Amino acid sequence: MWEIFNDVTKVFERLSKKPVLVSDADMELIEAFIVVMYDRTTTTFDINESRLELFARKQRQYDTIRPTRAALLDHTKLPTYRGGHVWGQAVTHHQHLPSLDGWRWVKENADGMGIPRWTQLAAIVSNEESRQELHKCGCKKTCSGNSLKEDINMRLKMAIPS
């Protein structure tokens, strides 16, 4: 895996050295790395498209597929701030830390203690048209619309909050 994505090592090194921000280019490499970690046969490096591919077409369980792009950004920014900025200055008497804003942290109390601010994600699908996209047809010739219907309904009930 590391041989395929040598550049992602450089991204991780950059993120550990007090970066000003997590760039779009860095996120693209991290995203591609995560996509391939979960599915080496993927045809896309877009994390949200590959989630749909794994869930709807390859029938993977929802709790075993990779996070969304928004969640990946959270999981990149939070440790970058903690590791690159806070721990990176652990032996420095007067640390110079950037504002918590923009690093997915918020101040919890008057002491300035930070807590993670997680993305609030919507349901997997929100309308009937999107639900139809999750349907993997099992018909031999022309789709009758009933193949795997019970399985799809059960999977949607488990995956979509009431």
143 alpha carbon, distance to own chain's centre:
33
Question: What gap in Å lies between CA 10 and CA 80, rounded to an integer?
Answer: 14
Q: Are residues 87 and 146 in the same domain?
A: no
Question: What gap in Å lies between CA 37 and CA 119, rounded to an integer?
Answer: 23
Q: Are residues 86 and 129 in the same domain?
A: no
Q: Is residue 1 part of a domain?
A: no
The mean pLDDT value for 57-82 works out to 82
Q: Are residues 117 and 133 in the same domain?
A: no
Question: What gap in Å lies between CA 124 and CA 57, rounded to an integer?
Answer: 14
Question: What gap in Å lies between CA 36 and CA 144, rounded to an integer?
Answer: 34
Confidence of residue 162 (pLDDT cuts 50, 70, 90): very low
Q: Are residues 48 and 82 in the same domain?
A: yes
Which token pair is 76? 């990149």
User: Please, are residues 103 and 74 in contact by the beta-carbon 8 Å criterion?
Assistant: no
pLDDT number for residue 148: 47
Question: What gap in Å lies between CA 80 and CA 104, rounded to an integer?
Answer: 10
pTM for the structure as a whole = 0.65
Q: Report the chain's C-alpha Rg in angstroms.
A: 20
Which token pair is 42? 């993927």
Q: Are residues 136 and 71 in the same domain?
A: no
pLDDT tens across 6-50, in order?
Answer: 889 999 999 999 999 999 999 999 998 888 888 888 888 888 888
Q: Are residues 19 and 33 in the same domain?
A: yes
Q: Give me the chain's average pLDDT, please.
A: 75
Q: Are residues 47 and 103 in the same domain?
A: yes
Residue range of the domain that includes 143: 123-162
Q: Are residues 79 and 149 in the same domain?
A: no
Query: Can you name the residues that pair with 155 across neighbouring β-strands?
Result: none
Q: Is residue 76 part of a domain?
A: yes
User: Please, are residues 102 and 89 in contact by the beta-carbon 8 Å criterion?
Assistant: no
